[in-house]
Structures are given as C-alpha cells and as structure tokens.
C-alpha cells in the first residue's frame, strides 16, 4: 500500500473512532436527571387530556403546584388517585393547583382512568413522555411539589400512599399552602 | 401474570365473534407483538409482561377483533406514543439512515477488504524470491572462501 493510501486509511479509521466517541459523549451529556429540590421546575406546555386547550407551567406561577406523573396502566397510580383527589379538594381552596401528567399511555385508557377515579383536577397529555423525561422520571407515579415561584420544594419518587412519602407529601403541602 | 394473559385472551375472544367477517385478511396479535415496543421497558411486546405492555396487547387484540388492519393499529399507536413505539424505523426521512447505513457500511468494508487483498497479492507476486540460506556460520564460510581461493 502506498504511503498516501495508508495515511488516508489511518485518518478514516481515526475519524470513525472520534465519531463514536463524540456520540458517547453526546449521549452522556444529554442524559436527563431529575431536577434537584430547590431548583426551578422545567417549564412546559401540554394539551389537556380531556378536551381542547393546553396548560403551561408558567401560567400557574403565583400558585403552589402539585405535579403528579401517572399512567392508566400503573397499579400504584390507582391507589394514589384517591389520595390526590382528597388533597386537591382540601388544598385547592387554599390556592394549591394540582396537575396530573399522563405519559406513555393510551389516551382513551387515560380518560377512562380519570372518569373511573373521579379525578377533578386538570390532566395533561404528555404523549410519548417528553415532559416526563425533562423531570427525570424513570417510573410512575412520581410527584413534584412546587412553590408559588415555580421552585421545587419536594420530589416524591414513588406512590404518595407509601408511608414515608405520604408524610413528606403532607409536609410539603403544608409548607407551600 | 396468568390473570393478565387470560384478560388479553378473553378480550380477544369476546370481540372475535362480530369480527368474523373482515373485508381483508385479519392480522394477529402474534404478528404485531414483535413489531411494537413496550414504551416503558423498551423491548418488544412479545418479550414483556409489564402492565403497559399488557394494556397495549389488549388494545391490539380489541382492534384486531374490530377488523382494523396492522397499518391502522400501528398508526393509532404512533398517535398515542410517538414513532418510538414501532420496533422498526420508518422508511422515510432521517429514519432511512437506519436502513441504508448498515448496507453502505458493509459495502465499504467489502471494497476496502477486496482492495487490501488485491494489493497484498500483487506485492507477493512482485517480490524476488528470498536468497537461499547456506546454513553455515560466518566463520566457516570465511574458511571455505580462503580454501577455495588457495586452490585457484
């Protein structure tokens, strides 16, 4: 092989390795992690699950927000629904806005879930889970509690019916309400 | 798990009656299970028994019973979950890269390999045969040379 052809081959091989390395770095850099408590909650706008219109997080500024990520196939979400609706009725009158975010789900099943559990707070359709990803949600249900300025006060990674998380959730609600 | 499987089968059986007469060949759950991903476990439906996968299997079984085509079912699933719900990338736009890149890679690899073999075989033909080794050390060879010189 001539020196020139050899050099071209070496440069091409090096370019391939550099490309693969760049892909790895890009993947690592774009891994989504849960935003830490104390930071600003990632902004989003999502369509309502049960009709026309959408809700943006910024439009809720001035109100504490409970952001609950769920899906109709998720068994713990069913047990949690009753608690969320009870607390929505209790704290909604004090200005706390509850919002449900449904991801990776069949919209028809999600609407059926809302009706079956008589949930009355706004439910948003996150489709393939873009917002779920920006909140670093790995498994539903997960719940974020935000203060009136949009800062994360609590992140509950699991059903709020669990013993430990239930007390954390109630404490966060009392803090922001 | 058995309960879930029974639920899927029951849904399929319950709806099988009215769908007996389809205008086109009916697709099957088994055929679609390998083409649809579970959105939370990132495997195909046939390899997953998660709640999300079970829900999609039931959805597919119900649509098959209603005479939906595989294409209609896939379109409905993409509308809910996005393109990533399909195991295979689409045949248009950027997704085409996923189909063509491996073929281009194999072709380029074959060309490079063929070129390398051709160059190597040419070099082998051009090279002069290696000099025969006498098997004697330098000292012996020197002595033989001296003897031969003395005989001349």
Q: Are residues A12 and A99 in the same domain?
A: no
Q: Closest Cα of chain A to B97: distance in Å?
A: 16
CATH number of the structural domain spanning residue A118: 3.40.30.10
Is residue A36 within 8 A of residue A149, CB to CB? The reply is no
pLDDT at residue B10, rounded to an integer = 62
* Cβ(A121)–Cβ(A99) below 8 Å: yes
Comparing CA positions, the residue from B99, B120, B11, B27 lying closest to residue B68 is: B27
pLDDT of residue A23: 87
**Which residue from A1, A73, A127 is facing B119, i.e. has the nearest CB?**
A1
The answer to whether the Cβ–Cβ distance between B52 and A104 falls below 8 Å is yes
Lowest mean pLDDT among A34-43, B55-64, B103-112, B119-128: B119-128
Same domain, A26 and A81: no
Following DSSP, what letter does each residue of A69-132 receive, concatenated? Answer: EE-TT-HHHHHHHHHHHHHHHHHHTTTPEEEEEE-SS-HHHHHHHHHHTT--S-EEE-TTTHHH
| In-domain check, residue A157 | yes
**pLDDT mean over A119-130:** 95
Domain interval for residue A25: 1-31
**Mean pLDDT value of segment B25-37:** 93
Confidence check: pLDDT of B71 > 70: yes
CA-to-CA distance for A48 and A72, rounded, in angstroms? 16
* Minimum-distance CB partner of A109 among B55, B84, B85: B55
**H/E element, B55:** helix B51-65
Q: Which residues of A touch B (CB under 8 A)?
A: 1, 9, 71-75, 104-107, 109, 127-129, 139
What residue ranges define each of the domains in chain B, with the CATH number in brackets?
2-88 (1.10.8), 94-151 (no CATH)
Comparing B19 with A40, the larger pLDDT belongs to A40
For chain A, give the percent of residues with pLDDT over 90. 80
Question: Mind listing the pLDDT tens digit for each residue in A100-119?
Answer: 999 999 999 999 999 999 99
ipTM of the prediction: 0.76
**In the predicted model, what is the mean pLDDT of residues B62-82?**
93
Chain A hits for B54, CB-CB cut-off 8 Å, are: 73
Indicate the pLDDT class of residue B38, thresholds 50, 70 and 90.
Answer: very high
Interface contact flag, B52 A73, Cβ < 8 Å: yes
Asked if residue A7 belongs to a domain, the reply is yes
């Amino acid at each position: 092989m001539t020196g020139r052809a050899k050099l071209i081959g070496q440069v091409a091989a090096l370019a391939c390795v550099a490309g693969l390395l760049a892909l790895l770095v890009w993947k690592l850099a774009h891994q989504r992690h849960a935003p830490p408590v104390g930071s600003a909650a990632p902004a989003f706008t999502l369509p309502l699950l049960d009709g026309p219109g959408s809700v943006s997080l910024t439009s809720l500024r001035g109100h504490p927000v409970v952001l609950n990520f769920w899906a109709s196939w998720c068994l713990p979400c069913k047990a949690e629904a009753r608690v969320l609706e009870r607390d929505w009725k209790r704290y909604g009158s004090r200005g706390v806005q509850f919002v449900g975010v449904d991801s990776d789900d069949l919209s028809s099943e999600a609407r059926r879930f809302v009706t079956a559990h008589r949930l009355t707070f706004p439910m948003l359709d996150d489709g393939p889970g873009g917002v779920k990803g920006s909140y670093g949600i790995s498994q539903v249900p997960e719940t974020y509690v935000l203060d009136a300025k949009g800062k994360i006060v609590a992140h509950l990674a699991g059903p709020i019916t669990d013993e430990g998380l239930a007390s954390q959730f109630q404490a966060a609600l009392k803090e922001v309400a | 798990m058995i309960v879930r499987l029974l639920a899927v089968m029951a849904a399929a059986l319950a709806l099988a009656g009215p769908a007996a007469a389809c205008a086109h060949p009916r697709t099957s759950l088994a055929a679609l299970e390998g083409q649809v991903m579970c959105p939370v476990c990132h495997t195909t439906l046939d390899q997953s028994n998660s709640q999300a996968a079970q829900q999609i299997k039931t959805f597919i079984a119900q649509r098959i019973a209603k005479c939906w085509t595989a294409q209609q079912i896939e379109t409905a699933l993409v509308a809910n979950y996005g393109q990533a719900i399909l195991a295979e990338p689409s045949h248009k736009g950027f997704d085409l890269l996923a189909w063509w890149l491996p073929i281009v890679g194999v072709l380029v690899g074959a060309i490079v390999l063929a070129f390398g073999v051709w160059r190597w075989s040419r070099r082998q033909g051009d090279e002069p045969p290696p000099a025969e080794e006498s098997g004697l050390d330098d000292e012996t060879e020197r002595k033989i040379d001296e003897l031969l010189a003395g005989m001349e």
